[in-house]
Structure 1
Amino acid sequence: MFISASARVPSASRLDFSKAYFLTAGIAGTPPDQGTLGSAVWAHRLVDSDTARRIMTLRTNSQGIYCTTQMEDNATATALKAHGYLNRYLSLRTVSNFDQPHPGQSVLDHLDHSTAGFPLALDNAYTVARTATDYLLKNPPRQ
């Protein structure tokens, strides 16, 4: 349903999106050695984690670092690209959990472990997205 809505809204002829920005603010997991709970990350490219690791290795001479997971942003970006709005898309991720066990932690312990990361990530997503939105409203880009 989300993909369908993402694809259809930008094509609605009675709506003018020529000056609109599209922002998704979601929560994500991060590798335990790369992030902390509550971290905020703006996505530059949207890919799955295995692809992200390969791209980072190839494109950065093994110097780049994969930071967060995401899922629905790919559908949103695809729909916006199809309608010429991809250059107005902001993807924000804040970290709510770890995407894998800590070194020495079993998978079962990792899956059973609950953290305070979820409310922290939501608060940070709101704070960062609100700041970005306020900035864009006060400083609209020149056309």
Structure 2
Amino acid sequence: MKQSSAERDSPRSLDVLILPAFAAEDFALPDDEDAPSELDYWVDAYDFEREVRVPGANAPVYVTDHGVGVTPTGMGKVEAATTLTALLAAPELDLSDAYFVTAGVAGAPPNVATLGAVFLADAVVDWDLKHRWSDGGGPGADETRPIDLLKYRPRDYVYRLNDDLVESALNVAEGVELAADEEASAYCQRYDEATARSSPFVGVGATVCGDEFWHGRALAEQVEWLVERYDAGVYVTSEMEDFGTASALARFGALDRYLSVRGVVNFDRPAPGETPRESMDDGGLALELGLENAFRVASGIVDHLASRSA
């Protein structure tokens, strides 16, 4: 469809902007190995008629004729914050009333999740801004805990999301049928926790964002401590982008229109009898199941938000 000069020059108004982290081209893999993509599910299911290129963003924004857009932010907090800042400041886009929906994958504790479960975040906690001690912290410190809150922090590094929006999204999510996978289910039986052994479900809780892919029980206990100190509830997922996304949205006054939807692809600690390295090398990455269920839930939410904005 040919656009008029006025259409080309006017900003593209969006009702919902979907924010997966990565597309297949973001990875450098051997020729015989297929790269994963959080973007492809959306491209395959929606009619994105146009693309908007924004300087500073990780990729073009693909848009429908009905006010829905999608763009991969790039992996990690820096990529996510840089992309969102570029998009929010871009004259090519009008995001003044848009909802923002992260749709991607995450790790999770086996006592609160199973592979293929999907969680909506009600809080986003940063994992990286803190003290870490190599010797237990010195005299007077809790020598059993090698981390502490950053002493000179200007604020707690946690964003609390819009409760009403999260509740509305949860009402939609609970009506979505989730996929199951026999191989993932069999893997979950290695764990003692009843929740880990359950079928995929939808839940709500805090997500913890960090730039390292950590794995192991000791680290998970530190994450749990940090989330409790911030009074952010129970952490249910760990990922790499959401604090960067939330930081940019907060700077532009748009945090109250943000949702994070994450499908669980791995547990954040090994099963009994395994080392952390054995756990990651031996499996436990239910990528296709997590991607599929995250898309099912997030697309239901996106359609609901788009119809509400129409």
TM-score (normalizing by structure 1): 0.84
CA contact (8 A) 1:36 1:95 kept: yes
Q: Deviations over 1:85-134 (max 9, x none)?
A: 11111111110001111233222321212246110000001100100011
1:54–1:113: structure 2 CA closer, same or farther, 3 Å change rule? same
CA contact (8 A) 1:32 1:102 kept: no
- Identity score, percent: 38
Within 1, Cα distance between the matches of 2:115 and 2:225? 20
Aligned counterpart for 1:37 among listed residues 87, 94, 115: 115
- The residue type equivalent to 1:21 in the other structure is Y
Q: Deviations over 1:9-41 (max 9, x none)?
A: 101234221221111111111112221001111
Within 1, Cα distance between the matches of 2:231 and 2:241? 24
More helix by share: 1
How many residue pairs align between the two structures?
138
Kindly report the root-mean-square deviation, in angstroms, between the aligned alpha carbons of the 2 structures: 2.2
Q: Which has the higher contact order (CA 8 A, sep 6+)?
A: 1
**What is aligned with 1:138?**
307
TM-score (normalizing by structure 2): 0.41
Aligned counterpart for 2:86 among listed residues 1, 5, 8: 8
Within 2, Cα distance between the matches of 1:86 and 1:57? 22
Q: Deviations over 1:58-102 (max 9, x none)?
A: 738xxx432110111111111111111111111111100011112
* Off by >6 Å, runs of 4+ in structure 1: none
**Aligned pairs (5 A) from 1:1-143:** 2=79, 3-47=81-125, 48=127, 49=208, 50-51=222-223, 53-56=225-228, 59=231, 64-115=233-284, 117-140=286-309
More strand by share: 2
Unaligned runs of 5+ in 2: 1-57, 59-78, 128-207, 209-221
